[in-house]
Amino acid sequence: MFDPVELQSKLSRADPGYYTLETCSEIARKLDRVVDLKRERNAVLLAHNYQRPEIFEVANFTGDSLGLALQAAEVEDAEVIIFCGVHFMAETAKVVSPSRKVILPNLQAGCSLADTADADDLTERIEELRREYSDLGVVCYVNTTAAVKALCDACCTSANAVDVIRAMPNRNILYVPDKNMAAYAASQLPEKNIIPWDGYCYVHHEIQPEAIQRIQATNPDIKVLVHPECRDDVIRLADAALSTSGMVNYARSSEADRFLAVTECGLSDLLAIQVPDKRFYRACKICRYMKMITLEDVITSLERLEPEITLPEEVARGAERAIRRMFELTASDRMPSSLMSID
C-alpha cells in the first residue's frame, strides 16, 4: 500500500505545486491498483527516464530505452511487458522478447525523431548513396522504428554512437535519423565521412545555449550535462555529453552538488527524486509524447492487455540483427543472453 504522505514527500521534489497531499492520495490508490494488476498478469513494467514521476513508483526498471528492453528480457518468468515510453521503444522490447506480449499503454505516444526516418525513404537513400560510396555503412540510432533498424548494418545508443561508428569497417557512414548526433559523432571521428539524415528531436533541438549560459553566470561551478541530441552550440557548453542513464550515474557518483541536466524535463524530475541530497537546475523542454502515458492508461492496459505491439517476423529479425551487431562491434563480451538466444 502506498502512503500518500510519503508519496507527497518524494514526488513534491519534482513539482511541489502539483503533488499536493490530495493529489497524492488519488495517485496512491491508482498505484496500489497497478501493483495488484502487475501481480495478476505476471507483468514487468518499464519506465523511461522521461516519464511522469508517479509512474517511476511502480516501475520494475527505470532507464534508457534499449537498456530497459534488455533488462525486461532477462526477467525469466514475466509473461507481459508494459512499456511506459514511446512506440519505437515498445517495438525494441518486442524485438528482444519475441515470445512475450508487449503493451504500449497509449498508442499516441510516438516520437517525432523516429518519425523523420521512413523505411521506404531510407531504402531509396541507401541505394542513391551506394552509387557514390561503394563502402557505405548504415548506422541507426535506437530512436528509430523496427522497420528502419532492419535496413541498417548496426544500431547504436546515445551512449555508444561514437564507439559503434568508430568500429565500423566503413569510412563512409550514413547516420540515421538525428543530424545533431551525426554532427557530434563527426566532431569526434574526423577519419570518418558521416552523412547525416535530416532529422532531429524537437525537444532537444529547441534548447538554446542562452538558457544554459544564464544559469552558468550565477552558478560558475555547476556541472552541465548535455544530451548528444542537442545542437552543437549547446553541446560545446557541456562538462559532459551523456545519455540519460549516463547523467544519472554521473550525478550520483560526482563530488559536485549542483547540476544542470540539459535534456527532457522528466530527467530532472527523476534526479530530484532519486538524488535528494544534490540540487538540479533546469534548462529543459517537455516532450509531449513522453508525458502521454498516465496511470489510468497503465491500469487499462493491464486490465485489457492491449494495445499490443506486434511486428512482421522479417522486420523483427532484421532489427535484432542490427542490435546484435552493435554489441559485436563494441562489447561482444557483454552480449545479452536475450540476443544470443535469438536465431
The two beta strands, 154-156 and 101-103, are unpaired
How far apart are the C-alpha atoms of 307 and 324, rounded to whole Å?
Answer: 27
Q: Is the confidence at residue 219, as pLDDT, over 70?
A: yes
How far apart are the C-alpha atoms of 207 and 205, rounded to whole Å?
Answer: 6
How far apart are the C-alpha atoms of 47 and 231, rounded to whole Å?
Answer: 26
Please give the average per-residue pLDDT across 247-262, as a whole number: 95
Backbone angles phi, psi at 24, to 5 degrees: -70, -25
Q: What is the pLDDT of residue 341?
A: 53
Q: What is the pLDDT of residue 66?
A: 87
How far apart are the C-alpha atoms of 250 and 171, rounded to whole Å?
Answer: 32
Using alpha carbons only, give the angle 332, 326, 156 rounded to the nearest 5 degrees. Answer: 140
DSSP codes of every residue in 173-187? EEEESBHHHHHHHHH
| Those residues with Cβ within 8 angstroms of residue 170's Cβ, 6 or more apart along the chain or in another chain | 135, 136, 137, 153
Q: What is the pLDDT of residue 331?
A: 76
Of 61, 10, 2, the residue nearest 30 (C-alpha): 2
For 268-309, the pLDDT digits (tens) are: 999 999 999 999 999 889 999 999 999 999 999 999 999 999
Cell numbers for 309: 505491439
> Is residue 259 helix, strand or coil?
strand
Q: What is the pLDDT of residue 334?
A: 73
**Average pLDDT over the chain, rounded to an integer:** 95
For 22-44, the pLDDT digits (tens) are: 999 999 999 999 999 999 999 99
Q: What is the pLDDT of residue 335?
A: 75
Q: What is the pLDDT of residue 269?
A: 94
Cell numbers for 115: 518519425
pLDDT band per the 50, 70, 90 thresholds, residue 340: low
Percent residues over pLDDT 90 in the chain: 91
How far apart are the C-alpha atoms of 144 and 59, rounded to whole Å?
Answer: 24
Q: What is the pLDDT of residue 65?
A: 86
Q: What is the pLDDT of residue 323?
A: 95
For 187-206, the pLDDT digits (tens) are: 999 999 999 999 999 999 99
Q: What is the pLDDT of residue 253?
A: 96
Q: At residue 285, what is the residue type?
A: K
Q: Is 296 left (phi over 0), alpha (psi -120 to 50) or beta?
A: alpha
Domains, the chain, in order of start with CATH, read 4-110+290-304 (3.40.50.10800), 114-200+312-340 (3.40.50.10800), 207-282 (3.40.50.10800)
Please give the average per-residue pLDDT across 59-83, as a whole number: 92
Asked if 267 and 258 touch (Cβ cutoff 8 Å), the reply is no
Percent residues over pLDDT 70 in the chain: 98
Using alpha carbons only, give the angle 147, 148, 153 rounded to the nearest 5 degrees. Answer: 115
